[in-house]
Structure 1
Amino acid sequence: MYRDFANFIHTNKDVLLNKWMEQMKEQADPAILLVTSDVLYEDTSREFLDLIVANVLGTKDGSFNEKLDGFSRKVVHLNWSVHFVTAGLRTFGLLVYSEMKRQGLFNEKKENLDEDIYYHFENWLSSMYNVVVNAYAESWEKTVSIQKTALQELSAPLLPIFDGISVMPLIGTIDTERARLIMENLLIGVVKHRSDVVLIDITGVPIVDTMVAHHIIQASDAVRLVGCQAMLVGIRPEIAQTIVNLGIELDQVITTSTMKKGMGKALAMTNREIVEKEE
């Protein structure tokens, strides 16, 4: 029975593909169609159909897994949700079942034929669900892992500005995992660059609560132990008010409202200053 489904799909591929794409466009999130051209949408759908036929016919040669992996990575990068992909599989399956029944391709001599065929049909769909969802999940996990690693590498850089002066700009929310990364990069960086002063810029941090302040204090204490003075810059009025209301003590941390003021203090602490050149 599985081979009957696959042979029918192979024979009626173009007709089924066009009907399937039209039905899925009605179900698709507008955002998906916005970023997917008609040509790419058709190519991806045709690739999906070829994988279905290969899986059902059992013609899984050495390149099948490679093609499946490539397809799953493509739909993940296109931001097609797993719900859209599995809905596409079910819609296609129902379309094949309906078309075969409409064309009278089922043998009507057998009793309870519809139930028997539908049983095979559900098994067919289930096998494809397992193959597609597993491949999608693996690609999604790989993509998330790569993105997470890239974000971690960029989320807490320590930049040497002058001899003895470094800056760590922070952007976005700081959670426990990121705070650990900040501490690690900070300690490694100040030792590597032989920093006497490090400016921690929180201009791009939307919320400074007790946990964030605690991590900043810990980072300041840690760099002090390796002979570096930490300075907290980018203290906005609302952040200052939050710190006061929470009763957070920053007595051991030098603070300034802007990077410009912080850099001026850092230069003074290293016995330097910026002077205008006379013409």
Structure 2
Amino acid sequence: MSSINEQLYNYLIENSPHISQQWLEEKRNFTDPFYSNNPNPSIDELLKEQNALTIRTVATSLLDEKTFSELLETWAETVAKNRVENNIAIHNVIEALNKTREIIWSYVERFVQGQAGAITTKDVLKWSSIYNQSFDRLIFEFSKRYYYLFTTRLNAQQMLIRELSSPIIPILEKVGVLPIVGDVDTYRAKSLSEEIPQKCIELGLDKLFIDISGVSIIDTMVANELYKFMEVLSLLGIRPYISGIRPEVAHTSVQLGLDFGKISTFSSLKQALLRTGVYKNM
């Protein structure tokens, strides 16, 4: 004869389609349109499958800790990956999970009512403890995995943005051009110092023409970072040339006491390429 825990487990698994259907009917009230108003029928099928996995994972906690932990890992990876890919905020996912938590427990209550006299208060209290702990672990593992996947994706996007915003263009052997366009804040200036020298080495450059004519504003801190950046290049044996310095940037540099006398400066990139003899070779 199966234990009362096994009976409850079987009851939840047997009713899993009904639990998922009830959840699907109630998801229209959720905050995020991914759940409440998604016109793609394949999304509903996916949510139904994942809801069934949630039910099976939670129900397994009644029987076996090892199997539950393995299912929990699979569940967290599956759900977190999908929600990150669909840009669903973590609080909206937890809202949906809490509704699942509520519906599954209502079926536990139905099971108890259908077993009048065979289930003790002690059984119910034990199930409540196991059930709530398992759901707390679900939310914790999901949040941890979601954070990892989200930050990994964000870091990759930021790296791509940095590469696109500061591209080195090789124009001749050992000669490259770095056009800097847009606002340059302290963070971007530091990233130039950290990443561009390495790229120059990888490309085998010994001359780098840095054009900042497309930079609208450079404040005091950024001008200082750019100066350090030039010094780093020089120390690596890469000669920097800078073009397109605006009058206000030059004024800021003088106020800071930055000595650009050691660095060749030009009013435009064309002038820089002509006067250094690079242009005639192109």
Give the TM-score normalised by structure 2: 0.70
CA distance in 1, matches of 2:119, 2:207: 87
Within the alignment, does 1:90 sit opposite 2:101 as a pair? no
CA drift of 1:272 comes to 4.3
Matching residue within 229, 254, 259 for 2:240: 229
CA drift of 1:153 comes to 5.7
Q: Is the 8 A contact 2:170 2:177 kept in 1?
A: yes
CA distance in 2, matches of 1:125, 1:32: 24
Q: Is the 8 A contact 1:86 1:133 kept in 2?
A: no
Q: As a proportion of its length, which structure holds more helix?
A: 2
Per the alignment, residue 144 of structure 1 pairs with 151
CA drift of 1:36 comes to 7.5
Within the alignment, does 1:212 sit opposite 2:222 as a pair? yes
SS in 1 for 2:53: helix
Structure 1 gaps of 5+ residues are: none
SS in 2 for 1:105: helix
Q: CA 1:131/1:94 → structure 2, altered by over 3 Å: closer, same or farther? A: closer
CA-to-partner distance for each residue in 1:7-28, whole Å, 9 max, x for gaps?
3332222222122123233123
- Written as runs of structure 1 = structure 2, the 5 A alignment for 1:181-196 is 181-191=191-201, 192-196=203-207
CA-to-partner distance for each residue in 1:48-104, whole Å, 9 max, x for gaps?
332331342247389734454233212222222332222222212222333554687
Per the alignment, residue 274 of structure 2 pairs with 268
SS in 2 for 1:166: strand
Matching residue within 131, 134, 144 for 2:138: 131
CA drift of 1:265 comes to 2.0
- Name whichever of 130-139 and 33-42 sits farther off: 33-42
Per the alignment, residue 69 of structure 1 pairs with 77
CA distance in 1, matches of 2:135, 2:213: 49
CA distance in 2, matches of 1:48, 1:8: 16
CA drift of 1:124 comes to 0.7
Q: CA 1:194/1:97 → structure 2, altered by over 3 Å: closer, same or farther? A: closer
CA drift of 1:170 comes to 5.6
CA distance in 2, matches of 1:198, 1:50: 57
Structure 2 gaps of 5+ residues are: none
- Name whichever of 191-200 and 240-249 sits farther off: 240-249
Q: Is the 8 A contact 2:84 2:146 kept in 1?
A: yes
SS in 2 for 1:198: strand
Q: Is the 8 A contact 1:208 1:243 kept in 2?
A: no
- Written as runs of structure 1 = structure 2, the 5 A alignment for 1:153-168 is 155-156=162-163, 157-163=167-173, 164-168=175-179
Q: Is the 8 A contact 1:171 1:202 kept in 2?
A: no
SS in 2 for 1:223: helix
Matching residue within 196, 210, 222 for 1:199: 210
Alignment coverage as a number of residue pairs:
264
Give the TM-score normalised by structure 1: 0.71
Q: Is the 8 A contact 1:82 1:133 kept in 2?
A: no
CA drift of 1:151 comes to 3.1
RMSD: 4.2
Per the alignment, residue 44 of structure 2 pairs with 41
CA drift of 1:30 comes to 2.9
- Name whichever of 178-187 and 242-251 sits farther off: 242-251
CA drift of 1:130 comes to 1.0
Matching residue within 15, 26, 30 for 1:27: 30
CA distance in 1, matches of 2:69, 2:119: 41
* Percent identical: 14
